[in-house]
Structures are given as structure tokens and as C-alpha cells.
């Protein structure tokens, strides 16, 4: 009887359009083909993979296999997201992503540009990386998402095309337009929080000092990105080496065949997130008798309309395909809501060379080669701080910024879509971006702050009007203030001081936290003994977020600082209310309010539970969420490196990861073996020569032979 019921359900499902059967592999994978790759994985005593390949493509293949060993699930999730199949595997919560993949024409762009825009070397690289994943999948079928494999180089490129606009907040804009609310973006102040992360203070630090500013004539670079600690944009450390001149170590995200930030033997760089205005929203002038026509350049044009098909998991094996319209105008994607019809234009549409640019940056051997790679402008954003063994340092406000003809519009708001005056005229050329090269001060920094204070002297820009309509930051973050108050105030920085400043845990007197706390305390008075105790703790606080600080938790709850002083609204009543609630909360949990910050803010990973210094917008950046009376750290300082070259050009570096190299393997000793070093402001050596690696070796193997 049971088999007849199942057969009946299958027939009914077919009639209703439900999909049931999903094969493990969509096409056969020839395991023998992987033998053509010549790569070896050396795991050091921290579990960090050093991939040595004969050719670059061999190294990329080995990287994919090694990373899959440590975090195969997340890598697969990036492929699923880029294919627009999240709803297929996870249900309705993935439908918005899947619609966006089709709305932004991710796969149309990849298929039309893969062969024409990417060099043969880059295509070989991404195909080899895909084959490394395929090899791992064949050998570990119990870990595979059914129907996902094999993957190809196009999947790798699609991951970058899909992810990059999310880094500058396109998804937030689209979400606003897709709702029934009146779309408001920037009228005086930003009304949406840019970026894909919940923490509004997420950022990064980057500092370089040349021999002019170091006590020993060394060149030093701090590579200190702040990211979520888990998920698709969490850092993974690797070292890539080939006999074709690739010798790069640093951090990358799941699904990447290249290093995003780090160093080779010649040079290194750090990225920090910048927030230029790379998205414009246009209100379309719709024909009075045809809602699918809009007026532009003197005539009415027809909105292009087609259907997106999204497969969604319902329950068990049942999946259903639903359809939604996609609309495009000359500006880009179109949204209709009760308040009008809007088109969206975003930077970098049609670009597929992100991997290619980072690949060239990985293999650069001097400043000129690095600048050539940067000039490709395939990366639509990211401040970039650079240093090399010759003592050169530089900073560039890298961004693919639209050339907007008019300053008459509020470009962060909604602009008219019926005039040529609001159309972009290409992008700002790379050599016109704000930059600093070998400043007299011997010091550059960026901490998600204005590019025009990246050093102690003048920052070059060939276009003085850049700040008017491009959204370039004009503010200093606390971290930028502290970089200038530490590195920038010391004209003879020793190695010890360079490290000490990296672990700075203080708020500047100029910070949003300090300025608004001081104002609040000047107005505060209370007869309540608990409030008086709290106010006394805050008055005696030295703005340090060390784990021993006893007022940080109260200041954190009450002030809630932002990056930008202009976007912080001081309100005495609001701050007092927050402080009262904080006092009540900590008294109920701890029975007191005089509590060390490290008792509250914790690093938790497996069986490890450690106190942490730092906090939001601190150079030692830690972002956390309340959990069982404490705050569990979830983002901020994570993988970072400090690199130095001697006056003779000899390289040495150290790195640390907040957890360890086994980013999702709970059974590995490297799941959390770096956590204690991280929590106590220590680092581990980076080994780059085969001799050093073998002296600190855990195991060596070829992919599939481990």
C-alpha cells in the first residue's frame, strides 16, 4: 500500500508542477581528470594550508581542496547563492536573493563576458579552483548538496559578480524600492544603513609607515580588516605558491581562488571599506496611458519585461516554481510601488574581472605592477593601503565612481529619470582618485574615514569637486583619530610600538563616544543611589575598553556611538533611559554594576570562553551580541597581519585568526587553537619558505591522498 501512496504523490506532484527528484550530481565527474594537476598541501602546526603548485592553476586547484576540507559547507552556500538557488535548498527565506540574482542579470553577465573579458590565465585559474571543489565533492559525497555539482569556473566568477554590489549596499536600496513604503534614502541624513552587516560600525584599519618614521629603518604594514567571524564573508588564511612566481599569503573568503589582502615577498596591501555613492535611484516619468512606457531624451521608451522563475523548497522533497516579473529601463532594474516607478543604476554592472584584478595584485613585484593592477578598476570600492620592500608606502581611495554631470540633484536621494542631465557619463578615471604616495610624514592610514586625512600632509586629488556629488566620506572615525594620535604622533616608531598601537583600546577625546558622553555627564544628576554610582563610574572612566575597565558596559549601552558625528543625534532623555535600563539589567544579572568589561565581553568557541578587550569603533574592534547575561563577540578584529621589511628588504610577518584555520570543523584541533593568542593580543609567525614550513609542519599531502 505504501508504495502506491508514494506513487500517487509523485503523480500529483507532477500535475501540480512540484519537483521531487534531485540527483546527487547533475553530471558525471571524471575523477581521473584531477590527476593532471600538480599540487601539494602543507599544513603547518597551526593548520594553515600552504599550497605549492607547479603552475598557478595547480595552486588554485589545491587551494579549493584545502579550503573545502575546512569549510566545504560555506563554499557550497556561496555557489548556491550565486546560482540563485537558495530558495531551492532552504525555502522561502532565500527567495529574495534568488530573485535578485535574476534581476541583476548575474548569469547573463557571466555567460556573455567570461570568454571575452577574462584572460586565458584567469579562466584557467577559476576552472582549476572549481575542479578542486569537484574533486573534494567526489570523495566526500555525504557532504554534498544534492544537484549542486559539478561546479565550473563560471560559478566562481558569478560568486564575485553576485557578491560585489552587496558590499556597497545595493541590496538595501532594492529592498526599499520593493516595499510598499515611500522610498526615502538621503535627505539631510542617510536613512538606510549601507552594507550587508547588522553592525553599523563595522569597518577596518590599515596603517603603513616607511623608513622615515620607523626607529630602525624598517617598512611596516598593518593589515587589519574587520569582518563577521563566521559565514560567507569571514576570513580564511592561506599561503599560495607556484613555480610561475605566485607566492602570496593572506586572507580570502569562501569561494575565492586568490588572496584578497596580504603580502608576497615584495609587497603587501590592506583594504578597508569605503562608502562612496555608487547607486542612483531614478523616478521614471511614466506615459499617462501606458504604465510600461517612460519618457527619456525626448521620447517614450518601453520598459523591458520578462519573468523570473524561482524554485522554492516547500517541505521534504517537494519544491514549487513560482514566477515574478523583472523590469528594466535604460537606467537598470525597475520597481513599481504605490509611490511611483523607479529605476536603479549601480556601479560595475557588467564587470567580471574582480578575480583577475586581485590575481594581478597577488603577483605584482613592485609598485608599478601593483598600480597597473589597481588601474583595471574591476573592484568598485575599497580603500587600499600599500607598502613594499623598497620602502614605498601609498594610499588610494579606490572606487568606481560615476561621473555625474550635474550638482543640481541630491544624488543620495531620488533623481529625475527623464533627462540626459541625470545620466552617468562613465566613471572617474583611476589616476584622478584621492591618493597619497610616499608622503613626507612617512605614514598613511585609513580606518573607514575621509581620504583627505589619510596622512599628516596633503592628499592629492586631480578633481577638487570629487566630494560634492560622489558621497566621499568627510568624517573621522574613532579609529582614524587614534591612528593619528598613536602612529601619527610618534616620529620614531619601534617594532614594539607598532604592535602596541595596533592593539590600542581607547576612545579618542574627539570621538562620538567621548564628546557625547562628556555632554551627557555635564547635564546629569540623580538622587537614585544606583544611578549616582553609574554616573561616578562613567566620570572616572578613562575611555579605555581594556578588559579590566568597569564602566565600558554602561557607556556602550547608553551612548551607542556611530562612525559619523553628523549622524549621531544627541538626546539627553534617550541616553538617560538607556542608562537606567542598563543599570537594571546588570543588577538583575550580576547583582552589581561595577563589572569588568572582560567579564561581559567574551570570545566563545567550542569549549573556550575568554575575556576580550576592545569594542565598537575601537582600534581593537570587537562587535558583540547579548547572550545569557554576557556579550558574545561575533565580528570585528579577526584575521590580521603585521608585515615588515628590513632596510635590506628582508621580509618577516605575523598573523592571527580569531578562531583557527579549521573555520567550521568542530572536530579539528585547529577549530579554536588561535583563540587564546587572539584574546591576549598575541600573534603567530607566518612561514613562507618551504624550509621554514617543513620545520613547522603538521602534515603534507596531495589532494585526495590525505
* pLDDT < 50: residue spans in the chain: 2-16, 187-201
User: Which ranges of 297-451 would DSSP assign to H, the alpha helix?
Assistant: 354-363, 367-374
Q: What pLDDT does 85 receive? A: 96
Give the whole-angstrom CA distance, residue 573 versus residue 578: 9
Give the whole-angstrom CA distance, residue 629 versus residue 616: 19
Q: What pLDDT does 408 receive? A: 85
Nearest to 701 by CA among 49, 214, 20: 49
Using the 8-state DSSP alphabet, how is residue 614 labeled?
-
Residue 120, phi then psi, degrees to nearest 5: -60, -35
Q: What pLDDT does 407 receive? A: 82
Q: What pLDDT does 427 receive? A: 95
Give the whole-angstrom CA distance, residue 386 versus residue 210: 11
The predicted model scores a pTM of 0.93
Give the whole-angstrom CA distance, residue 399 versus residue 350: 16
Residue 262, phi then psi, degrees to nearest 5: 155, -145
CB 377 within 8 A of CB 371: no
Using the 8-state DSSP alphabet, how is residue 608 labeled?
E
Beta strands in 126-191 (DSSP E): 186-187, 189-190
CB 93 within 8 A of CB 80: no
Q: What pLDDT does 28 receive? A: 84
Q: What pLDDT does 186 receive? A: 56
CB 617 within 8 A of CB 561: yes
Residue 237, phi then psi, degrees to nearest 5: -95, 135
Cα angle, residue 676 at apex, residues 670 and 680 outer, rounded to 5°: 145
Nearest to 260 by CA among 185, 355, 125: 355
Q: What pLDDT does 202 receive? A: 61
Give the whole-angstrom CA distance, residue 499 versus residue 642: 8
Q: What pLDDT does 467 receive? A: 57
Q: What pLDDT does 21 receive? A: 56
| Pairing outcome for strands 279-283 and 414-416 | parallel
Give the whole-angstrom CA distance, residue 654 versus residue 249: 11
Amino acid at each position: 500500500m505504501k508504495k502506491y501512496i508514494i506513487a500517487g504523490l509523485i503523480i500529483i506532484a507532477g500535475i501540480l508542477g512540484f519537483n521531487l527528484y534531485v540527483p546527487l550530481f547533475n553530471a558525471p565527474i571524471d575523477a581521473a581528470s584531477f590527476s593532471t594537476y600538480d599540487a601539494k598541501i602543507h599544513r603547518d602546526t597551526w593548520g594553515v594550508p600552504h599550497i605549492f603548485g607547479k603552475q598557478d592553476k595547480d595552486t588554485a586547484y589545491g587551494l579549493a581542496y584545502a579550503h573545502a576540507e575546512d569549510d566545504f559547507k560555506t563554499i557550497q552556500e556561496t555557489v548556491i547563492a550565486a546560482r540563485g538557488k537558495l530558495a531551492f535548498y532552504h525555502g522561502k527565506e532565500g527567495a529574495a536573493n534568488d530573485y535578485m540574482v535574476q534581476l541583476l542579470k548575474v548569469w547573463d553577465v557571466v555567460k556573455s563576458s567570461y570568454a571575452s573579458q577574462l584572460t586565458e590565465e584567469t579562466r584557467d585559474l577559476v576552472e582549476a579552483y572549481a575542479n578542486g571543489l569537484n574533486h573534494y565533492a567526489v570523495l566526500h559525497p555525504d557532504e554534498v548538496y544534492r544537484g549542486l555539482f559539478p561546479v565550473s569556473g563560471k560559478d566562481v566568477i558569478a560568486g564575485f559578480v553576485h557578491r560585489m554590489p552587496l558590499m556597497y549596499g545595493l541590496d538595501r536600496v532594492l529592498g526599499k524600492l520593493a516595499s510598499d513604503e515611500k522610498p526615502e534614502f538621503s535627505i539631510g541624513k542617510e536613512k538606510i544603513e549601507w552594507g550587508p552587516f547588522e553592525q553599523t560600525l563595522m569597518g577596518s584599519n590599515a596603517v603603513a609607515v616607511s623608513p622615515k618614521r620607523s626607529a630602525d629603518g624598517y617598512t611596516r604594514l598593518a593589515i587589519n580588516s574587520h569582518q563577521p567571524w563566521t559565514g560567507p564573508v569571514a576570513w580564511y588564511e592561506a599561503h599560495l605558491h607556484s613555480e610561475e612566481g605566485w607566492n602570496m599569503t593572506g586572507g580570502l573568503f569562501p569561494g575565492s581562488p586568490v588572496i584578497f589582502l596580504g603580502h608576497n615577498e615584495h609587497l603587501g596591501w590592506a583594504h578597508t571599506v569605503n562608502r562612496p555613492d555608487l547607486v542612483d535611484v531614478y523616478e521614471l516619468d511614466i506615459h499617462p496611458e501606458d504604465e510600461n512606457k517612460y519618457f527619456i531624451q525626448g521620447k517614450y521608451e518601453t520598459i523591458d519585461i520578462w519573468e523570473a522563475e524561482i524554485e522554492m523548497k516547500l517541505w521534504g522533497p517537494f519544491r514549487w516554481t513560482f514566477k515574478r516579473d523583472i523590469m528594466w529601463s535604460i537606467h537598470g532594474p525597475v520597481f513599481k510601488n504605490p509611490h511611483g516607478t523607479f529605476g536603479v543604476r549601480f556601479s560595475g554592472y557588467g564587470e567580471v574581472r574582480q578575480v583577475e584584478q586581485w590575481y594581478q595584485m597577488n603577483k605584482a613585484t613592485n609598485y608599478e605592477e601593483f598600480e597597473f593592477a589597481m588601474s583595471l578598476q574591476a573592484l568598485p570600492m575599497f580603500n587600499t593601503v600599500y607598502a613594499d620592500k623598497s620602502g614605498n608606502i601609498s594610499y588610494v581611495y579606490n572606487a568606481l565612481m560615476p561621473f555625474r554631470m550635474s550638482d543640481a540633484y541630491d544624488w543620495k536621494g531620488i533623481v529625475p529619470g527623464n533627462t540626459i542631465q541625470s545620466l552617468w557619463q562613465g566613471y572617474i578615471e583611476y589616476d584622478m582618485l584621492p591618493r597619497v604616495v610616499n608622503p613626507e610624514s612617512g605614514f598613511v592610514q585609513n580606518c573607514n574615514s575621509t581620504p583627505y586625512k589619510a596622512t599628516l600632509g596633503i592628499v592629492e586629488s586631480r578633481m577638487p569637486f570629487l566630494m560634492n556629488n560622489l558621497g566621499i566620506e568627510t568624517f573621522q572615525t574613532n579609529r582614524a583619530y587614534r591612528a593619528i594620535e598613536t602612529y601619527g604622533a610618534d616620529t620614531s616608531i619601534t617594532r614594539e610600538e607598532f604592535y602596541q598601537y595596533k592593539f590600542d583600546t581607547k576612545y579618542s577625546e574627539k570621538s562620538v563616544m567621548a564628546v557625547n558622553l562628556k555632554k551627557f555627564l555635564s547635564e546629569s544628576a540623580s538622587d537614585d543611589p544606583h544611578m549616582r554610582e553609574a554616573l561616578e563610574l562613567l566620570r572616572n572612566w578613562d575611555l579605555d575598553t581594556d578588559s579590566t575597565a568597569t564602566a565600558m558596559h554602561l557607556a556602550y549601552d547608553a551612548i551607542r556611538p556611530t562612525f559619523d558625528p553628523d549622524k549621531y543625534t544627541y538626546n539627553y532623555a534617550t541616553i538617560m533611559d538607556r542608562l537606567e535600563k542598563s543599570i537594571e539589567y546588570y543588577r538583575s544579572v550580576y547583582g552589581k554594576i561595577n563589572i569588568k568589561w572582560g567579564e561581559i565581553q567574551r570570545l566563545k568557541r567550542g569549549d573556550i570562553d575568554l575575556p576580550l578587550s576592545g569594542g565598537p569603533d575601537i582600534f581593537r574592534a570587537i562587535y558583540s551580541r547579548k547572550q545569557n547575561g554576557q556579550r558574545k563577540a561575533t565580528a570585528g578584529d579577526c584575521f590580521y597581519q603585521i608585515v615588515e621589511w628590513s632596510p635590506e628588504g628582508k621580509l618577516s610577518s605575523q598573523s592571527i585568526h580569531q578562531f583557527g584555520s579549521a573555520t567550521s570543523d568542530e572536530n579539528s584541533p585547529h577549530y579554536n587553537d588561535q583563540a587564546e593568542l587572539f584574546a591576549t593580543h598575541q600573534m603567530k609567525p607566518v612561514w613562507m619558505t618551504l624550509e621554514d614550513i617543513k620545520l613547522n609542519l603538521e602534515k603534507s599531502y596531495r589532494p585526495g591522498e590525505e
